[in-house]
Amino acid sequence: MIDQEIIRHHIQKYIVGVLMHQKYARFRDLRPPKVDTNLYSYHLKALQKSGIVDKQAEGYTLGKQGILYVDRISTATFNVRSQPKIITMLVIQNSEGEVLLFKRKRQPYTDTWTLPYGKLHIDDATILASAQREAREKLGLPAQAMIHAGDCYIRINENSIPIMSTLAHVFRFETDDIQLHERLQWVKPHKLSGLNLAPAVESIVARTFFRDPYFFEEFEEDWYN
């Protein structure tokens, strides 16, 4: 994983900036104007050592770490861009029609009730596989059959400025085979509004209950509304 602060020096930014726009470059083409050769060589070697830059027969090129890094930065500022979080979210009902909620134990929105969810992992083969992994890890449900009900884009604003965003792939299924505890409870749908909920939970549950083949919705809420 690349440290978000890894490229701070202007010489290293210049070198990476050149390689962002061409596959290979010669030694002399990567040197910033009016920079001492020894100083330039020092920073080029530092980038090679960290895996940002690689030297091949064709010339210097971005290494794997460099490619991953430039995929995440602003080309204008070299700052790492804040990206939406991508999750799978589970809308689970029991035979009584109740919905499964769990209480968050960490920020953001600690101690609010939300639907079971988890971030997609880069090694998840499919979105469905990610949702099934979350059901297994968080709820102890192996090989759970489920339906991809839809997707939701959730934006959180503070003073009309977006500060967080989440793309949720929503899956639904029914089961009574859940071991409850103080942070994992069944809740009747009409009682959701009386709980301290995380953003968009009630709206997502309501939308999923339509049972459309597939839906897409966007929700926007204020920070700690």
User: For 55-100, how does the pLDDT look when each residue is reduced to its tens digit (9 = 90+)?
Assistant: 999 999 999 999 988 988 887 788 888 889 999 999 999 999 999 9
The model carries a pTM of 0.79
More confident residue, 142 or 225: 142
Over the stretch 148-162, which tens digit does the pLDDT of each residue have?
999 999 999 988 888
Architecture in CATH for domain 85-222:
Alpha-Beta Complex (3.90)
Parse the chain into domains and list their residue ranges: 10-70, 85-222
Q: Give the separation between CA 64 and CA 99, rounded to whole angstroms.
A: 44
Q: What CATH number does the domain located at 10-70 have?
A: 1.10.10.10
